[in-house]
Amino acid sequence: MTNLIEIEDVSHAYQTASGPLPVLDGLNLSVPEGKFCAVVGPSGCGKSTLTRLIAGLMFPDRGEVRLHGEVIRSPRKSVGMAFQNPVLLEWRTILNNVILPLEIVAPRMPRAKREERARELLSLVGLEGFEDKRPSELSGGMRQRASLCRSLVHKPDILILDEPFGALDAFTREDLWQLMHQLRSEEPFTALLITHDLRESVYLADQVVVLSGRPARTQFVLDIDLPGPRPIEMLYNTQSVEWLAQLRAQIEIAQGRSDPRNSTP
Ligand SMILES: Nc1ncnc2c1ncn2[C@@H]1O[C@H](COP(=O)(O)OP(=O)(O)OP(=O)(O)O)[C@@H](O)[C@H]1O
Ligand SMILES: [Mg+2]
C-alpha cells in the first residue's frame, strides 16, 4: 500500500520573543492511502503544528513532509480541514457555507453542480431541510455535521480533523463517530485526526500514533486492524480495553508521569 502522507525526520521551532521554542523534534509518521490515522499526545506538544505542516500552511525547519511522494512547498487545495470550533460564516446559509470550498477549488463548476454536491452531503449527515438556515439556528452537533460536509465537499485527498468532536456532549460525539465511519464507507478518504479522547482514537482509527511531550517525536504506534464500520460496542470488548490500557500507559509516559522502562507495550 502506498503512503499518502510521509513525514520524515521533521523538526520545527517557533521563533518567540524569548528565543526559539522547539516544538517537533525528528518526527516520523506515515499514513497509507485510504487509512485513518489518529494522533494523540499531551496538550501543547505540537499536534496542531503538525496539521499546519501537512496542509502546507507552514514548512518545517528540517526534514520533509510529502503528499503522494511530493515535498509540500505551498498550501494544498487537496486538503479538507475541520476544527473543534466549526467556524461557519453567519452571513451565509448552511448550504452556502458547505459550497464555499468549491468556489475556491473549482470556480468553473456550475452553481447547480455545486449545490447538488453540497445537498447530497448534507442529506448524508441528516441535515436535509436545514440547507437554508443560518449557522446560529443549528445546535452544536448540527453545526459540526455541516462543518464536516464543508471539509469533504471538494473530495479532498486528505481530511485533517483537529479535535472536531471535543466540544460536543458524549451522545452527540458517539453519533458523529458513527457518522465518520458511514461517510468513509460511502466515499473513502484518508484522514488524520487529532484527539485527546483515546476511545475516539480506538473506535475511528486504523493506526493510533502517540506523540511524546514537546518537542514532539513519535513515541508509539498502535495498529488497529479492523475493517470497515465498527459497532460502538466494540469499545467494550477485551481487545479494545487492552488497546486503551496500552495507550493510557503511553500517554502517562509522554506526560512524564511514568518511567518508560516500566511499560510493556
Ligand atoms: N505561532 C506560534 N508562535 C509561537 N509559538 C507557538 C505558535 N503556535 C503554537 N505555538 C506553541 O507551540 C507549542 C505547540 O503548539 P500546538 O498548537 O501545535 O500544540 P497542540 O499539541 O496542538 O496543543 P493542544 O493539545 O493544546 O491543542 C505550544 O507550546 C504553543 O504555545
Ligand atoms: Mg491543538
For residue 72, the CA-to-ligand 2 centroid distance in Å is 21
pLDDT at 172: 86
Structure confidence at residue 265 (pLDDT):
53
Q: Which ligand is nearest to the CA of 22?
A: 1
Number of C-beta neighbours around residue 180 at 10 A: 21
In the predicted structure, residue 167 carries a pLDDT above the cut 70: yes
Indicate whether 231 pLDDT > 80: yes
> Which residues' Cβ are closer than 6 Å to ligand 1?
14, 16, 21, 23, 43-49, 214
What local confidence, expressed as pLDDT, does residue 108 receive? Answer: 93
Q: Is 32 left (phi over 0), alpha (psi -120 to 50) or beta?
A: beta
Answer whether residue 83 shows pLDDT above 90. no
Q: Is 108 exposed, middle or buried (0-12, 13-18, 19+ CB in 10 A)?
A: exposed
Which ligand number lies closest to the CA of residue 45?
1
Mean pLDDT of the chain: 92
Rounded distance, CA 59 to CA 50, Å? 10
The total number of residues shown for the chain amounts to 265
Predicted TM-score of the model (pTM): 0.93
Which atom belonging to ligand 1 lies closest to the Cα atom of 15? 4
Name the DSSP class of 136: G
Is-contact 221 189, C-beta < 8 A?
Answer: no
Quick: pLDDT tens for 174-195: 988 999 999 899 888 999 999 9
| Ligand 2 centroid from CA 208, angstroms | 17
Those residues with Cβ within 8 angstroms of residue 120's Cβ, 6 or more apart along the chain or in another chain: none
Give the closest residue (by CA) to ligand 1 atom 7. Answer: 14
Say what the pLDDT of residue 257 is.
Answer: 74
The amino acid that residue 181 corresponds to is H
- Per-residue pLDDT band for 2 (boundaries 50, 70, 90) equals confident
User: Cell digits for 71?
Assistant: 515535498
- Would you call 157 exposed, middle or buried from its count of C-beta atoms within 10 A (0-12, 13-18, 19+)? middle
**pLDDT bucket at 168, cuts 50 / 70 / 90:** confident
- Closest residue by Cα to atom 3, ligand 1, is 14
pLDDT surpasses 90 at 198: yes
